[in-house]
Structure 1
Amino acid sequence: MSATAPGDRLVAVGAVVKPHGVRGELCIDCHADSPFLFEEAGRVFLRRPGGRAREYAVLGSRPHQGRMLLTLRGVSDRDAADALRGLEVAVAAADLPEPEEDEVYLHELEGLAVRLPDGRPLGELTGFLFAGGQETWAIRDPEGREILLPATPEFVLDIDLDARVAVVEPPEGLLDLYIKDQQ
Structure 2
Amino acid sequence: MAASKYIIVGGIARPHGIRGELIVDSHADSPTYFARGSTLRLSPPSDPGRGRDYLVRASRLHQDRFLVTLDGINDRNAAETLRGLAVCVPVEQLVPPAPDEVFLQDLFGLRVRLAAAAPTDPDLGRIEDIRDLGGPEIWVIRDPKGREILFPATDEFVRDIDLDAGLVVIDPPPGLLDLYLVDE
Question: TM-score, normalising length from structure 2?
Answer: 0.85
TM superposition shift of 1:105: 0.9
Range with bigger deviation, 161-170 or 63-72:
63-72
For structure 1, which runs of at least 5 residues remain unmatched after alignment?
A: none
Match of 2:161 in 1: 159
Q: Does 1:175 align with 2:177?
A: yes
Please report how far the alpha carbon of residue 13 of structure 1 lies from its aligned counterpart in structure 2 after TM superposition. Answer: 2.7
Structure 1 runs, 4 residues or longer, greater than 4 Å off: none
For this pair of structures, how many residues does the alignment match? 177
Compute the TM-score of the two structures, normalised by the length of structure 1. 0.85
Superimposed CA distance per residue, residues 31-50 of structure 1 (whole angstroms, 9 cap, x where no aligned partner): 22233332399222212344
Which amino acid letter does the alignment assign opposite residue 89 of structure 2? V
Of the candidates 111, 130, 133, which is equivalent to residue 132 of structure 2? 130
Residue type at the aligned position of 1:139: I
Gaps of 5+ in 2: none
Distance of 2:21 and 2:5 partners within structure 1 = 26
Find the counterpart in structure 2 of residue 27 from structure 1: 23
Q: What secondary structure does 1:36 align onto?
A: helix
Partner of 1:84: 82
Contact in 2 for aligned 1:116/1:168 (Cα 8 Å): yes
Change (3 A) 1:49 1:102: closer
Q: Deviations over 1:112-153 (max 9, x none)?
A: 111111243111111111113321111111111111110111
Distance across 1 between alignment mates of 2:79 and 2:10? 15
RMSD between superposed Cα atoms in Å: 2.2
Amino acid at match of 1:67: R
- 1:172 aligned partner, one-letter code: P
From the superposition, tell whether residues 33 and 72 of structure 1 become closer, same or farther in structure 2 (CA, over 3 Å): same
1: distance between equivalents of 2:66 and 2:41?
15
Counterpart of 1:47 in structure 2 is 43
Q: What is the distance in 2 between the residues matched to 1:139 and 1:172?
A: 17
| Secondary structure at 2:101 match in 1 | coil
Task: Name the CA distance, whole Å, in 2 between partners of 1:66 and 1:177.
Answer: 33
CA contact (8 A) 1:41 1:95 kept: no
Moved more, 80-89 or 144-153: 80-89
Maintained 8 Å contact 1:159/1:167: yes
Q: Residue 35 of structure 1 contacts residue 62 of structure 1 at CA under 8 Å; is this kept in 2? A: no
The offset of 1:6, in angstroms, is 5.9
Provide closer, same or farther for how the CA distance between residues 137 and 41 of structure 1 changes in structure 2, counting only shifts above 3 A: farther
Q: Is the CA contact (8 Å cut-off) linking 1:44 and 1:58 kept in structure 2?
A: yes
Among all aligned residue pairs of Structure 1 and Structure 2, give the percentage whose two residues are the same amino acid.
Answer: 51
